[in-house]
C-alpha cells in the first residue's frame, strides 16, 4: 500500500510542488500523469526515498519512507522497491545474467541463480543470459529491465514512462508484462507517464493527475 499524506517538496531555486493525499492499496495500479515539469519524477523520487519531503509523508507498506535514515532508505529500496527506468539503464559492460545479479550484489546478498533462470524463462529470455544488452532487441532489453525490477519480489514497482518510444503493439505487451509481474509480487504498480495509451489500456488504474501549477488532484 502507498499513501501520500500532505506531501510537498520545495526545490531550493525552483517551484514548490504539493501532492494530493491518496491511498493506493497493495496490488493496485496507480497512474501518475502530467505534462513535463508537473512533478512526476519528483513524486517517483519521493516514493523511492531519493528525496526527503519538505512536508507530509510518503508511506509504503506502513513505513514513512522520508523518516528513514539514508542507510535505512538504501536497505529499504533494495528490499521493497522495483524500478524500471525509461531508458532501461542496463549495464553495457555486463551480461544479461550479471545485470540480473546486480540487485543481489547491491543488497550484499547471495545471488540466486535459480530465481534468475526462472524469471528469464518466464519472460522468454532463456538462452540470452550470456548476451550483452547491445545484443538484445528493444523488447528483450525491456524484459530484462523488468526482470531486474521484480527479481527480489518488491512491494512497490515504479515504472517511468514504460511505453515511451514504443509502438502500440510493443507498448501493449510492455504494460501487460508489467501488470502481470506486479501482480505476481503483489506489488503496487506506479506508472509515471504522459502517454494516453496507458490510461486506455489500464482503465481500472487509480489516476493521479499532476498539473504544472503544482496543484494536484487525485
Residue closer to another protein by CB (options 17, 182) is: 17
- Unique residue bearing C-alpha cell 517517483: 44
Cα radius of gyration rounded to whole Å, the chain: 17
Pairing of strands 22-24, 2-10: antiparallel
Binding flags for another protein, 143-182, as an x/- string (CB under 8 A): -----x-----------xx---------------------
> Which of 89, 130, 211, 212 lies at the binding interface for another protein (CB under 8 A)?
89
Min. distance of Cβ 131 from another protein in angstroms?
14
> Which of 35, 91, 176, 212 lies at the binding interface for another protein (CB under 8 A)?
91
Of 142, 109, 144, the C-alpha closest to 129 is 144
Compute CA distances 70 → 77, 97, 158, whole Å: 10, 29, 20
DSSP reduced 3-state for 215: coil
Residue closer to another protein by CB (options 40, 59) is: 40
* Cα–Cα dist 105/131, whole Å: 19
Min. distance of Cβ 199 from another protein in angstroms?
18
Q: Are 77 and 155 in contact (CB under 8 A)?
A: no
Q: Does 86 bind another protein (CB under 8 A)?
A: yes
Q: Are 140 and 128 in contact (CB under 8 A)?
A: yes
> Which of 22, 81, 136, 216 lies at the binding interface for another protein (CB under 8 A)?
81
Interacting residue ranges for another protein, rule: CB under 8 A: 11, 14, 36-37, 40-42, 44-45, 48, 50-51, 70-71, 74-79, 81, 83, 85-87, 89, 91-94, 98, 101-108, 111, 148, 160-161, 192
Amino acid at each position: 500500500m502507498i499513501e501520500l499524506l500532505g506531501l510537498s517538496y520545495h526545490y531550493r531555486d525552483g517551484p514548490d510542488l504539493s501532492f494530493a493525499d491518496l491511498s493506493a492499496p497493495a496490488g493496485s495500479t496507480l497512474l501518475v500523469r502530467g505534462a513535463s515539469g508537473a512533478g512526476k519524477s519528483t513524486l517517483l523520487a519521493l516514493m523511492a526515498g531519493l528525496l526527503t519531503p519538505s512536508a507530509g509523508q510518503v508511506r509504503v507498506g506502513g513505513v514513512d519512507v522520508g523518516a528513514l535514515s539514508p542507510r535505512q532508505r538504501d536497505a529499504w529500496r533494495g528490499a521493497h522497491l522495483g524500478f524500471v527506468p525509461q531508458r532501461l539503464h542496463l549495464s553495457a559492460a555486463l551480461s544479461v545474467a550479471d545485470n540480473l545479479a546486480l540487485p543481489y550484489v547491491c543488497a550484499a546478498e547471495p545471488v540466486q541463480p535459480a530465481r534468475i533462470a526462472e524469471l528469464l524463462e518466464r519472460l522468454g529470455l532463456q538462452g540470452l543470459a550470456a548476451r550483452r544488452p547491445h545484443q538484445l532487441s528493444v523488447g528483450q532489453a525491456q524484459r530484462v529491465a523488468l526482470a531486474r525490477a521484480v527479481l527480489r519480489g518488491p512491494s512497490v514497482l515504479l515504472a517511468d514512462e514504460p511505453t515511451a518510444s514504443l509502438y502500440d503493439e510493443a507498448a501493449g505487451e510492455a504494460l501487460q508484462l508489467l501488470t502481470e509481474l506486479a501482480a505476481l509480487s503483489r506489488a503496487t504498480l506506479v506508472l509515471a507517464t504522459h502517454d494516453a495509451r496507458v490510461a486506455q489500456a489500464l482503465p481500472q488504474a487509480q489516476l493521479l493527475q499532476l498539473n504544472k501549477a503544482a496543484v494536484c488532484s487525485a
